[in-house]
Amino acid sequence: MPIVLDARIPAGPIEQKWDRCRFEMKLVNPANRRKHTVLIIGSGLAGAAAAATLGEQGYHVQCFSYHDTPRRAHSIAAQGGINAAKNYRNDGDSVFRLFYDTVKGGDFRAREANSYRLAQVSVDIIDQCVAQGVPFARDYGGLLETRSFGGVQVERTFYARGQTGQQLLLGAYQALERQIAAGTVTMHPRTEMLDLVVVDGKARGIVTRNLQTGAIQSHVGDVVVLATGGYSNVFYLSTNAKASNCTAIWRAHRRGALFGNPCFTQIHPTCIPQAGEYQSKLTLMSESLRNDGRIWVPKQKGDTRKPNDIPDSERDYYLEHRYPSFGNLVPRDVASRNAKEVSDEGRGVGPGGHGVYLDFRSAIDRLGIDVVRDRYGNLFEIYERITGDDAYRVPMRIYPAPHYTMGGLWVDYHLMSTIPGLFVGGEANFSDQGANRLGASALMQGLSDGYFILPATVPDYLAKAELSHVDTSHRAFRDAEEEIHQRTRALLHIDGERTVDSFHRELGRLMWDNCGMARSDASLRRALAKIPELRDEFHKNVRVLGTEEELNQSLEKAGRVADFLELGELMCTDALHRTESCGGHFRIESQTPDGEAKRDDTKFCYVAAWEWTGPGQAPALHQEPLTFEHVHLAQRSYK
Amino acid sequence: MKLALKIWRQKNTSEAGRFVSYQVDGVTPDMSFLEMLDVLNEQLIEGREQPVAFEHDCREGICGSCGFLINGVPHGPRRHTTVCQLHMRFFKDGDSLTLEPWRAAAFPIVRDLVVDRSAFDRIIQAGGYITAPTGSAPDANAILVGKEAADTAFDAAACIGCGACVAACPNAAAMLFTAAKLTHLNALPQGQPERDERTLNMVAAMRSEAFGSCSNHGECEAVCPKGIPLEFIAGLNRDFVRAAFRPRRDALVVHGAPLHPAHEDA
């Protein structure tokens, strides 16, 4: 059956689309809501907010998390803040401006209607979070503080010190715990979704593994919501938490959900570089450091002198001279690419030459050490804790790291995937962010989807869907359980020579070198040749000890890495087909004479949605054309 | 550098555990403590021995997953530092380290260094929230929050729920955890309507779990990676007394353990 990608964007002026959509949606009578079971996978911002809200409405919600408690989800690590078009500053902000910034920042690869709705809902999110007791920054009059973020010209970012994600997640977690106590939500901690079950073409349940006992269990629902985050850990080293993985969305993809723009990944320019082979993750340093820090590398290749011994005349402040008007404040993708370029030339600093200096000497001379301490003290402390270096005296070393994935499962305006009854929220969907996400917009999208969009669109589906009675004795559930048992036993049975981590590291290296900050036809073809070889070796030579029926962290990792080994190939396939550069996707062959990303709007103004066609087979490409009526297509320039 | 480790190994909650000694080589000062354990685990797998299970996720000191005792101290020797942010440069070649899970009746051991902290979730369920159903909120700036209240609420809300406070307490009390959440919510104007019920219910929930009582040792504050101060416990006690003795229209319904002995009808 051919797949028709109907984004279900409501008719009418962009300002009225969401209101019209809400009015046209069917409702479920309060007395009937408890008869519907909603399965929600993930308890981060999108998942916890959706579970709490649908529970409040009276639905019977089952929420699943592989953590010991829902409060651990990786949304917690977001530092900077959350955007909202409140215009409390009276500085010219509006819903339309936030929408405009989002579409342009996403380099014209986002759906206008979705981005507009995101900007619209942003104002309600702040109200909701404040009512819950989220301790946002306040001024002395008791009003909310905001700051500017990510190069936009208005101050629309609300924040809670450097721990905004933590505070927003705790707000959603507490709302969720309240519903658990009320009996509307049943929480399943330490439970990992390993497959999606589709019956008569509709998502009707999931199969999970209890991580403590190993028990494989089926769960039936009327609708399934995935809110399982992004897949940056395909690179092994990223700013994501160690357990963040693609298994839930990948298994749904294999069951028929199309995957949108898998190659759109965001590389964050200011992370602490890798110190050695044993490195397990990368730590982000707030982008705000670039406001006063100057980025440089030695002019000479292989200069091993200590940074303070290198005189100014022998330093290359490369961003300042290449981009005189934006200097050290160029956007994330530009800063990242330039750091890679100078490192690849052999001028990188630190172990392995993967790093550039971020120097505060002139800021300290200009402002005094106390002002610098006041502005960045906590960040200097984090840096010192990890590296042992005092950044007041020696320059920091930084390097880009994978941070966020704009790609994800394709969803329509209702956030429903190509499988009826399977909804996807937050970073797990292909998102409202286009090819590049602006700072402080991830938290906004997670909460918009969780508190406001899904609780409106999921009931509409439930009201309209004609669902037959299904229980776990249905063959589709039995088959899925059996497949999981077989997969698990196969992994335990291999008893090869290499650990799971060694494969994950190798895949990460491959992806980073060939499908990272800059991609070329040759590099992508290289990766596409090597990934299947690595995958074959994994299934022949991995060593997973222990049994199925116990807490077995190696087994958990093995299942996740097996899925990353398939997703990596799809990312490269997508990156190879998109011969333009846009946002975080930079194809070496497609750049302007000044080395900037060059889009090709005549050929690539669409969402690439990939269909799984079977193991080892080429995926099929479907296109959703994008049209821009309000924000006109233009080339970005930061010179 | 080289380390001698003594690690608690326990297959599951019901089986008995024991210490097992390991040598780990090739440790470098830039490694985090958990990366050192990753290296050990790779060595164990090579030798066909099951790796040590330990909880971790963000490795940035914010998710609260990680934590175990290093030579008897939760999260190890460095103040205000979770074990994932503790680096090996604070140890010396040849050091002997004993690693064991949180020891508290309320936190049953799941495996090796992993414990079950779901008792914390149940305390939150008893009242650790502000009732604000989605969609019902007034404009965010309609609620003024004075700077002092906002800062106090934030200081308390910084708790990551790791459980170090319980592990450090000679009585395995959960007072610092409970006090942190109560201080956060009770300090804010939005938290006032439910203040008394919240306080009484959370304290009752805490008592109904296997936590001990507070006897002001202050060990919890000393090991808290987020620097939650002991004075919040004083605030909890004050709010508890206020709630328990305030005259009210109707008898308070407290979930879990009864606050006062029930009437004994003949």
Say yes or no for a CB contact (<8 Å) between A452 and B124.
no
C-alpha atoms less than 13 angstroms from C-alpha of A536 in its C-beta half-sphere: 6
User: Chain A contact for B129, CB < 8 A?
Assistant: yes
Nearest chain B alpha carbon to A128: B137
Instruction: Give the model confidence (pLDDT) of B179-219 as tens digits.
Output: 999 999 999 999 999 999 999 999 999 999 999 999 999 99
B255, pLDDT greater than 80: no
Determine, for residues B38 and A175 on separate chains, whether the beta-carbon distance falls below 8 Å: no
Say if the Cβ atoms of A88 and B141 lie within 8 Å: yes
- Chain A: nearest CA to B173, how far in angstroms? 20
pLDDT tens digit string along A500-512?
999 999 999 999 9
Single residue among A348, A380, A402 that ends a domain in this structure: A402
Which phi and psi (to 5°) does residue A314 adopt? -105, 15
Mean pLDDT of A436-456: 95
pLDDT reported for residue B51: 98
- What is the band of A153 on the pLDDT scale with cuts at 50, 70, 90? confident
**For residue B184, how many C-alpha atoms fall within 13 Å in the half-sphere facing its CB?**
29
**Could you tell me the end-to-end alpha-carbon distance of chain A, in angstroms, rounded to an integer?**
49
Confidence of residue A2 (pLDDT cuts 50, 70, 90): low
- Rounded to whole angstroms, the Cα distance separating A521 from A513 reads 13
Structure tokens at A17: 């689309």
The number of folded domains in chain A is 2
Domain membership flag for residue A465: no
Start-to-end C-alpha separation, chain B: 72
Q: Which residues in chain B have their CB less than 8 angstroms from residue A173's CB? A: 124
Q: Domain of A598: which CATH number?
A: 1.20.58.100
pLDDT of A149 strictly over 80: no
Residues A578 and A483 in one domain: yes
Please judge whether B59 and A280 are an interchain contact, meaning their C-beta atoms are less than 8 angstroms apart.
yes
Domain spans in chain B, listed from the N-terminal domain onward:
3-111, 117-245
Whole-number percent of chain A with pLDDT over 70: 99
Lowest mean pLDDT among A160-164, A177-181, A399-403: A160-164
Q: What is the CATH number for A347?
A: 3.90.700.10
Q: Structure tokens of A482?
A: 């059996």
Instruction: Clarify whether residues A484 and A394 are in a common domain.
Output: no
The continuous run of DSSP H or E covering A21 comes out as: helix A17-24
Residue type, B85: Q
Of B28, B114, B185, the CB nearest to A551: B114
What are the backbone dihedrals phi and psi of residue A607, each rounded to the nearest 5 degrees, phi first? -90, 130
Does the domain at residues B3-111 carry the CATH identifier 3.10.20.30? Answer: yes
Interface of B with A in 130-189 (CB under 8 A): 130-141, 143-147, 150, 153-154, 157-158, 160-161, 184-185, 188
Query: Alpha-carbon distance A42 to A44, whole Å?
Result: 6
Partner residue facing B125 (CB), from A170, A180, A243: A180
Does residue A144 fall inside a structural domain?
A: no
pLDDT for B220 beyond 50: yes
For residue A177, pLDDT beyond 90: yes
**pLDDT tens, position by position, B90-145:** 999 999 999 999 999 999 999 999 999 999 999 999 999 999 999 999 999 999 99
Instruction: Compare CB distances from A133 to B38, B48, B191 and report the shortest one's residue.
Output: B191
**Is the pTM value of this prediction over 0.90?**
yes
Is A173 contained in some domain? Answer: no
d(CA A76, CA A43): 11
pLDDT of residue B252: 66
Q: Which of A551, A556, A560 to mutate to test the interface with B (most CBs of B within 10 A)?
A: A551
Cβ within 8 Å, pair B64-A72: yes
pLDDT digits (tens, 9 = 90+) for A263-285: 999 999 999 999 888 999 999 98
> Does residue A639 or residue B97 have the better pLDDT?
B97
From chain B, the residues in CB contact with A140 under 8 A are 147
Task: Categorize the per-residue pLDDT at B261 as very low, low, confident or very high, splitting at 50, 70 and 90.
Answer: very low
ipTM of the complex: 0.95
In the prediction, which pLDDT does B81 show?
Answer: 96
Please determine, for residue A93, whether its predicted confidence score (pLDDT) is greater than 90: yes
Average pLDDT, chain B: 94
In the predicted structure, residue A38 carries a pLDDT above the cut 80: yes
My answer on whether A358 and A489 are in the same domain is no
Give the pLDDT band (50/70/90) at residue B154.
very high
pLDDT value for B262: 42
Residue of B nearest to A53 (CA): B134
Q: Tens digit of pLDDT for each residue in A522-535? A: 999 999 999 999 99
* Full strand arrangement of the beta sheet holding A606-611: A408-409, A259-260, A606-611, A620-625
Whether B39 has a pLDDT exceeding 50, the answer reads yes
DSSP letter assigned to residue B139: P
Does residue B147 register a pLDDT over 50?
yes
Res A376: pLDDT: 86
Is 60 exceeded by the pLDDT of residue A350? yes
Minimum CA–CA partner of A166 in chain B: B62
Cα distances (angstroms) measured from residue B183 to each of A149, A165, B8: 30, 20, 35
How many Cα neighbours within 13 Å face the side chain of A131? 16
Minimal-distance CA residue of chain A relative to B136: A128
Residue A332: active-site member: yes
A135 contacts B157? CB cut-off 8 A: yes
Kindly state the percentage of chain A with pLDDT values over 90.
Answer: 87
Q: Which CATH class is domain B117-245?
A: mainly alpha
Output B262 or A138, whichever has higher pLDDT.
Answer: A138
* Stretch B235-262: mean pLDDT: 75
The pLDDT of residue A26 is 97
Q: Are both A277 and A367 inside the same structural domain?
A: yes
Q: Considering A111, A332, A437, A578, which one is annotated as catalytic?
A: A332
Instruction: Read off the pLDDT band of A330 (50, 70, 90).
Output: confident
A389 and A295 in one domain? yes
Contact between B81 and A385 using a beta-carbon 8 Å cutoff: yes
Is A127 in contact with B140 (Cβ distance < 8 A)? yes
Phi-psi region of A208 (alpha: psi -120 to 50; beta: other; left: phi over 0): beta
Backbone angles phi, psi at A358, to 5 degrees: -120, 105
Q: How confident is the model at residue B265 (pLDDT cuts 50, 70, 90)?
A: very low
Closest CA–CA distance from residue B113 to any residue of chain A (Å): 12
State residue B254's pLDDT score: 67
pLDDT of residue B263: 43
A281 plus A364 within the same structural domain: yes
- Return the pLDDT at A420: 98
Asked if residue A189 has pLDDT above 70, the reply is yes
pLDDT (tens digit, 9 = 90+) per residue, A573-582?
999 999 999 9
For chain A, the average pLDDT equals 95
* pLDDT reported for residue B264: 40
Instruction: Give me the mean pLDDT over the A518-547 stretch.
Output: 98
Cα–Cα–Cα angle for B191, B184, B54, rounded to 5 degrees: 135
Query: How many C-alpha atoms does B143 have within 13 Å on its Cβ side?
Result: 23
Domain range for A392? 269-402
pLDDT(B259) > 80: no
Confidence of residue A207 (pLDDT cuts 50, 70, 90): very high
Q: Is residue A122, in this structure, part of any structural domain at all? A: no
What torsion do the CA atoms of B77, B83, B86, B90 make, to the nearest 10 degrees? Answer: 30
Strands (E), chain B: 3-9, 18-24, 69-70, 73-74, 96-100, 109-111, 114-115
Among residues A360, A381, A402, the one where a domain terminates is A402
